[in-house]
Amino acid sequence: MAAILVISSISLQAQTSTAPKKATVHKKAPAESPVERQIRELREQMASQQAQIDALKQQNADKDAKLAAAQQSAQDAQTAAATASAKADSLSSNLSANTEAVSNLNSTVTDLKTTNVGLAQTISDTKKTISDELESPLAIHYKGVQITPVAFFAGEMVYRQRAMNADVNTPFNATPYPGAAQANTSELNFSGRQSRIGALFVGNPGPFKLSGYVEADFLGAGASSNENQSNSYVLRQRQIFGQAALNNGFTVTGGQMWSLVTETKKSTDNRTENLPQVIDAQYVVGFSWERQPGIRFQQKIGGFTGAVSVEEAEIIYSATNANNNFFIGNAGAGGGLYNLTANYSNNVAPDVIAKATYDAKFGHFEIGGVSRWFRDRYYPNQTLATPSATGGTNNTKVGGGFFVNARAPITKFADVGVHVLGGTGVGRYGTSTLPDVTVHPDGTLEPIKNLQGLASVELHPLPKLDLVGYWGEEYAQRTTYLSTIGADAGKLVGYAPITSTNAGCNTETLPTTPTSGLGSIGVSGNPPYSPGTPANCLGATKYLYEATAGFTYRFYTSPKYGRLQYQMQYSYLSRQAWAGVTSAAGAATTTFGGPHATNNMVFTSFRYYLP
């Protein structure tokens, strides 16, 4: 029905539109019929419905467009979600990898920081070492060996109240008794001979350390040495040794060195010898030492060190009234490169020395022992009416002793020390070289009891100033035996027999006539270089003691340029002899007090030490 109405409406509209237009006549519109009214209303309804239809179509189109847009957005969102998910998975994977990488990186950075700290220190130390070596090299490098020069250069002087015709090296046991002409004259000598040169050679392969050391001064005297013009004294070997030190604390040293008897500052290490701080090249009475060839073995365990050495032996002999029925050795042989004017004993064995040390914060302590063997060849048939060498026999006697050394700081400004060595046949190890042995009437040797002691105080009130004081003593016991052999029966033989005379020890005598070309005849016919010596004076030394005080002032000290210092030393020396009889023919019951000799000595020294 609606369709018919629509068609009718369209037909009517078409007819109306095609009908020719007439001129407008303003006539009164006829009344609308009911049919027309219905048609008009239908038309209006149809137009309204058409408008609604068009609106619905537009709405549908908009909805379709929105749906399409929504679908596209959903698709885009899905794609984006998939992409985001993939990115998230990738990011998660990367994050896990990055976490591990960051952890590794942090560890690497930590290691690098640690390495860099050590590297920085190494670089700093290397720069300092290079700088020091460039500006002030402490050593010369030859292949894998480091060579360090060792030297000081000295200008020194000694004054002695009683002349001894000695350089800065004092022969303590030759201090003249009052009857000696030289006991009434003084001496003043200048010297540069204690100047020292040397070098330390060190190679370090790793498992062990190799080193060699050489040291020399000019206190040797050659046949042409004199002080008339050129003062041409010769170079003298002091030390020359080689050493191998393992990392486990074991060390072996061979060559000429300070004896193991000598006190050291640390362990039993070479080149740490604790020498008295004096100018006198013979040091101080009571100081025990030797510099001689040997081989030393030492082992360190913590603060303890044990050491054993075998060292060159030699015999110092002294006797009165000895028979001509033995010998110890002979003068040096030129072809053997020994000194033709010195005596050498024919030794049967080396001296053996053992020592243990302990190093602590409160000091350095040593204890040790010395074993010695003394051999001679004696002839029991020499005293027969017809002397004969038949029956000549070698005889060996054993000697030795014990020693202790202790040194400790009582404050940071003061150190005290004590040294004692006692035994039989150990006189040679004292700085005064008192005798080791004497002889029996039958020609066999007898070791002499000896004692050596030294006390020291060393003060350090200022960094540049040291003050020192030493008191030392050495003793040799009277050792004699009554002879029962032939014409010598009843005679005392040995060291310091009481029957020997000391009557002339305090009486001065005239100069003597020279027995060689060393002297020249003066106006009175007496030689100017042969002063008088006491007659009837055995003067066998009982003991020597010395009190010494001195100071060292260091004007300048630099690790780069070295050290400049001045020293002064004063010494009071006393020599006491064993008592004897009033005359050579006197009775043993009439004794004469042992002679006594003294000397006052002053030393000065100006030295420059290499750094």
3-class secondary-structure state, position 133: helix
Cβ-based neighbours of 327, under 8 Å, separated by 6 or more:
376, 377
Q: How far apart, in Å, are the Cα atoms of 4 and each of 16, 18, 39, 590? A: 18, 21, 12, 191
DSSP single-letter state for residue 332: P
Give the single-character DSSP code of 501.
B
Q: Tell how strand 208-220 and strand 492-495 pair up.
A: unpaired
Compute the distance between CA of residue 591 and CA of residue 399 in angstroms, rounded to an integer: 31
Return the half-sphere exposure (C-beta side, CA atoms, 13 A cut-off) of residue 429: 36
pLDDT at 524: 46
Structure tokens at 52: 């609604």
> Which pLDDT score, from 0 to 100, does residue 127 have?
53
Answer whether 319's CB lies under 8 Å from 500's CB.
Answer: no
Residue of 476, 525, 522, 519 lying closest to 496 (CA atoms): 476
Question: Percentage helix, strand, coil, to 5, in the chain?
Answer: 25, 40, 35
Where residue 531 falls (left for φ over 0; alpha for ψ -120 to 50; beta otherwise) is beta
The model's pTM is: 0.76
Closest CA to 492 of 478, 477, 507: 478
Is the Cα dihedral 136, 142, 146, 148 positive or negative?
A: negative
The radius of gyration computed from the CA coordinates of the chain, to the nearest angstrom, equals 57
CB 528 within 8 A of CB 520: yes
> Which pLDDT value is given to residue 345?
97
The span from the first CA to the last CA of the chain, in angstroms, equals 136
* Identity at 78, one-letter amino acid code: Q
The DSSP string of 32-59 is: PPHHHHHHHHHHHHHHHHHHHHHHHHHH
- Tell me if 527 sits within 8 A of 513, measured CB to CB: yes
User: Can you tell me the distance from the alpha carbon of 249 to that of 27, in angstroms, rounded to the nearest whole number?
Assistant: 150
Predicted confidence at residue 446, as pLDDT, reads 98
> Residue 365 and residue 22: Cα distance in Å, rounded?
157
Closest among 244, 237, 236, 238 to 212, alpha carbons compared: 244
One-letter identity of residue 142: Y
Of 405, 403, 400, 404, nearest in space to 370 by CA: 400
Predicted local confidence at residue 380, as pLDDT: 92
Token pair for residue 171? Answer: 């022969």
Instruction: For 235, list phi and psi in degrees, rounded to 5.
Output: -70, 140
Q: Is the dihedral of CA 247, 251, 252, 254 positive or negative?
A: positive
- Beta carbons of 308 and 371 less than 8 angstroms apart: no
- Cβ contact 328:348 at 8 Å: no
- Per-10-residue mean pLDDT for the chain, 611 residues long? 41 42 48 76 79 76 74 72 64 57 60 57 54 58 94 98 97 96 96 97 94 97 87 94 96 98 97 97 98 98 97 97 95 91 95 98 96 97 86 97 97 96 98 97 97 98 97 98 85 94 91 61 60 92 98 96 97 96 52 87 98 91
Judged by DSSP in three states, 89 sits in helix
For residue 426, count CB atoms less than 10 angstroms from its CB and return exposed for 0-12, middle for 13-18, buried for 19 or more: buried
